[in-house]
Structure 1
């Protein structure tokens, strides 16, 4: 391409910087070269010093909002506030997933303890969980200190005497064995 042609193209079809993402990548929009003026060319210029291979190989990804804009799925480019809100949402989802994973690990460990038949540790664990529940349910004084023994009412003293024992609270079911069943026929007429 000749020098004059490049200068002419620059003057007639300027490049517009549309926006940036949180990692410093810049997004440009070029006017259409063909007769179809509605379809513009949208391009990303990666941050200086960043290797484009990290994005192509899948180690890093462009924000979904910018990807939708690049593919003409989204009409308007995303704002920085929108990108920050999405980043906060992703962090919140990761925290919640970590909490769920930790809870699942605890449940698996408890189930393994129950299956191994170590009744002494289970009773101790039940007592610890009951103590935690009682501490969470107990009223706190305005200073943030737990109430003294004289401040507690007799009803709460009775509740503390009902500490869980190694025996289950609920009665065992009468029978866990399946019973025979035969359907009745319906007579019409």
Structure 2
């Protein structure tokens, strides 16, 4: 939450809260939420007919030119929501938990890599010692 408060000023958070109200008449575009990097997600209706699902939209925090794929920067949970495979948008707590889970997995993977590298070094040293021993035996 602190990350969002630093990224998005209070006045803009209040503006988004107001834009998320669905009870205001004639409003077609509704704010749904944002992710940890400040990207915003919206729903809008082209026509207000029963049975027509709303369209979903992603607006990047800082739009950049010449980016091939904006979707590589979107969290998986929001991508699922955009593609209608998820009914409800993800909460900020869920995004934070997922980010912490990914960081833990990366740390564990790094530790495992170090462990494998250490074992390889031990094997190399053992092979080097056995070769030295064999060379000493040949010289005698």
Using structure 2 for the length normalisation, give the TM-score: 0.67
For residues 73-103 of structure 1, give each alpha carbon's deviation from its aligned partner in whole angstroms, at most 9, with x where no partner exists.
0000000000000000000000000000000
Structure (1 or 2) with the larger CA radius of gyration = 1
Q: CA deviation at 1:115?
A: 1.4
Q: Which structure shows the higher helix fraction?
A: 2
Go from structure 1 to structure 2 and tell me whether the alpha carbon gap of 1:53 and 1:79 turns closer, same or farther (over 3 Å shift).
Answer: farther
Q: Tell whether 2:42 aligns with 1:28.
A: yes
TM-score by length of 1: 0.51
Does residue 33 of structure 2 align to residue 19 of structure 1?
A: yes
**What is the root-mean-square deviation in Å for CA atoms of aligned residues?**
2.5
Structure 2 runs not aligned, ≥5 long = 1-24, 133-140
1:107 to 119, 125, 128: 119
User: Gaps spanning 5+ residues in structure 1: where?
Assistant: 1-10, 121-189
Match for residue 56 of structure 1? 69
Alpha-carbon contact 1:55-1:62 (below 8 Å) kept: no
2:77 equivalent to 1:83: no
Counterparts of 1:55 and 1:78 in 2: how far apart (Å)?
A: 25
